[in-house]
Amino acid sequence: MDCIFCKIAKKEIPANIIYEDDKVLAFHDINPQAPFHILVIPKKHISTLLELTEDDKDLIGHIYLVINKLAKDLGFADRGYRVVVNCKEEAGQTVFHIHFHILAGREMGWPPG
Ligand code: 5GP
Ligand code: ZN
């Protein structure tokens, strides 16, 4: 399968990885939109949020706990941060392997564009 995030998960192409365990990987976004812009992905290929199943419930909970850990370890937990998952084209999804954007280190606007 020609999926760029599967290739990053398998270390077939490089990324600036900041966290890894058996289920997930976190790395810096190649085109950061904030002082901190990290992507957290499951190692398992899931194309969009709509493909999640009952079997993925623990995985998604785990991803949010990894995000908590990164927020504390990287020092933006106190100030706050935003977690974004774009689902399909109209929301702006361009890579069809689910990824949780963590954005931090600047004031965020609302509503998002
Ligand atoms: P989306 O638009 O699908 O929500 O987000 C995709 C994100 O992946 C974008 O923020 C983009 O900059 C990032 N991205 C795309 N290709 C690569 C890559 O090869 N390496 C890294 N580190 N980030 C990527
Ligand atoms: Zn994939």
What's 61's domain CATH number?
3.30.428.10
pTM of the model: 0.98
Phi-psi category of residue 55: left, alpha or beta, with phi > 0 → left and psi -120 to 50 → alpha: alpha
Find the 53 Cα to ligand 2 centroid distance in Å. 16
- Tens digit of pLDDT for each residue in 57-76? 999 999 999 999 999 999 99
Domain that holds residue 47: 4-104
pLDDT at 1 over 80: no
Mean pLDDT of the chain: 98
- Of the ligands numbered here, which is closest to the C-alpha atom of 10? 2
Instruction: Kindly state the percentage of the chain with pLDDT values over 90.
Output: 98
CA proximity to 83, closest of 56, 63, 113: 63
Q: Ligand 1, atom 21: nearest CA belongs to which residue?
A: 30
Count other C-beta atoms under 10 Å from residue 91's C-beta: 12
Q: Ligand 1, atom 4: nearest CA belongs to which residue?
A: 93
109 in any annotated domain? no
Can you tell me the distance from the alpha carbon of 20 to that of 89, in angstroms, rounded to the nearest whole number? 28
Provide the domain count of the chain: 1
Can you tell me the distance from the alpha carbon of 42 to that of 81, in angstroms, rounded to the nearest whole number? 20
- Tens digit of pLDDT for each residue in 6-33? 999 999 999 999 999 999 999 999 999 9
With the C-alpha atoms ordered 32, 24, 84, 105, is the resulting torsion angle positive or negative?
A: negative
